[in-house]
Structure 1
Amino acid sequence: MKLTGNTIFITGGGSGIGRGLAEALHRRGNKVIIGGRRPGVLDEVIAANPGMAAIEIDVGNASNIEAVAAKLIADYPDLNVLINNAGIMLLDSAAGRIDDARMAATITTNLMGPIRVTSAFVEHLKTKPDAVIAYTTSVLGFVPLALSAVYSSTKAALHSYVLSQRFLLKDAGVRVLEIAPPWVRTDLLNSRDAEQAMPLDAFIDETMVALGTDTDEVLVENARMLRNNPGPNEHALVTGFNEQLTALLAG
């Protein structure tokens, strides 16, 4: 991906990985517009980054997505990069009764949201040079966290969708990238102070290096083992991973 001279829209850009990516790309001379549901948080980010812009968007609301996309395309006709980063992570109980509202919110935000957002922008992006669609998935799409089974499932489904979209857009001049983070110190599951999680700054630095290459899957080094696990012998790592994480989260 070209790292300078783009016009970039990032959903979920008010905090965590989204904010980290937005600020890193802003520093490299891109026009960055962040989207999110909390206007106060968005205002804080753009105040700290003069020249950055923000817009409220609810990726769980189809009509709002269409309205925001139309406004951004009109206001920023050079927009050529879309980063689908917004997401939520909630604990659930796959061994018992699933909370229907939590399940619906997770699927709507994490899977239907990025699909809808991309759908609203894709025809515009086909007309732009150096066009990119990127998705923030998770290594949990490859090695699921059993305590957050619905979240993990949405990331696995989004990975599958990325593969299909990448194939279908290969001759359209639009690159489709997948950013699959490991456990990072963000607000997801209150992980900001988790010692075992990767520091956010380190994750962003390594991710930016990978984004600047021709790779389609943007992985930091300590995500590779989990990314490479799926296959006929995957169950041992999944079991060990979940035993370790369950004990850690319980403690």
Structure 2
Amino acid sequence: MKMSGNTILITGGGSGIGRGLAEAFHALGNQVFIAGRRQESLDEVTTANPGMKSYQLYVTSPVGIAALAKKVTDEVAGLNVVIHNSGIMRPEDYTADRVDPQTAEATIATNLLGPIRLTAALLPHLRTQAASTIMTVSSGLAFTPLALTPSYCATKAAIHSWSISLRHQLRDTSVEVLELAPPYVQTELMGPHQANDPHAMPLDDFISEVMQLIEAGPTHGEILVQRVMNLRNSEASGNFWGEFERLNTLSHRFKLNLGSLTKLWSGR
């Protein structure tokens, strides 16, 4: 993927990693469009970054995705990059007397079906470009799951597998497939406390390292900062169960207490 001269659509671009990537690519002279559910957040980002534009999108809506894809491709002939960053991460307790599947259903619709649907809608256009990129966002937890958030980890593992297959299918086309797998980063993915958690990787540091990795050319299409390597390589290193136990010990001990898990997830 080239670092400038692109026209980029980023879902979940109103905050966190999506906003960080949008602003980094915008600063390099790319035309950036952000999409997200909260219009006020989108407006805040575009106001702070003159020339950036936004679209409101409910990524769980097939109709909304189809409408966005048509609108973007009608209005932006040169669109050549899509970054699937929208995602939710919520705890689930399957030891409860009654389990509500709504969290799992919402997570699957957002984290897995959203990228699949938007890719399917945009791919005919992307294939007409001389060079284009689809970037998915998985997680270090795709490789070593956090039992507190089983549906989140499952969707990210699915996105990893789907990205590999998509990359292979499109290998003889103009479409490159990249996968970004973040570690625990200072965003509000699981609430405001996470954005200031000293155990999480600072967002600016994460974005800076990611941009360097993209420019250098990701190995096997995976964008992996150093902080995620223990999770990504736990099985290959023969330490999966040790890493899994390290990550999940407090989940068992403190009955799914989110605050107790942050130090373990961060790998520090």
Query: What TM-score do you get using the length of structure 1 for normalisation?
Result: 0.96
- For 2:7 and 2:66, the matched residues in 1 are separated by 19
Q: 1:205 to 1:250 in 2, by over 3 A?
A: closer
In the TM superposition, 1:93-104 aligns within 5 A as 93-96=93-96, 97-104=98-105
**8 Å CA contact retained: 2:134, 2:177:** yes
Q: Does 2:226 align with 1:226?
A: no
- For 2:94 and 2:196, the matched residues in 1 are separated by 27
Question: CA shift at 1:233, angstroms?
Answer: 5.0
- For 1:238 and 1:30, the matched residues in 2 are separated by 40
Question: CA shift at 1:189, angstroms?
Answer: 1.4
In the TM superposition, 1:134-213 aligns within 5 A as 134-190=135-191, 191-213=194-216
Question: CA shift at 1:242, angstroms?
Answer: 1.2
SS in 2 for 1:147: coil
Q: Does 2:85 align with 1:79?
A: no
With 191-200 and 94-103 compared, the bigger mean Cα shift is at 94-103
Query: What TM-score do you get using the length of structure 2 for normalisation?
Result: 0.90
Listed one character per residue, the Cα deviations across residues 36-71 of structure 1 (whole Å, up to 9, x for unaligned) are 011111111000000000001111000110011000
Between the aligned residues of both structures, percent identity stands at 46
Listed one character per residue, the Cα deviations across residues 88-146 of structure 1 (whole Å, up to 9, x for unaligned) are 11110244453211111000000001110111101110111220000111001001111
Cα RMSD for the two superposed structures: 1.5
- For 1:218 and 1:31, the matched residues in 2 are separated by 22
**8 Å CA contact retained: 1:94, 1:146:** no
**8 Å CA contact retained: 1:2, 1:130:** no
**8 Å CA contact retained: 2:182, 2:228:** yes
- Aligned length in residues: 251
Letter in 1 for 2:201: M
- For 1:218 and 1:99, the matched residues in 2 are separated by 34
Unpaired segments ≥5 residues, structure 1? none
Question: CA shift at 1:13, angstroms?
Answer: 0.2
- For 2:210 and 2:117, the matched residues in 1 are separated by 25
Q: 1:74 to 1:239 in 2, by over 3 A?
A: same
**8 Å CA contact retained: 1:93, 1:149:** no
Letter in 2 for 1:236: G
Unpaired segments ≥5 residues, structure 2? 261-268
- Give the aligned partner of residue 41 of structure 1: 41
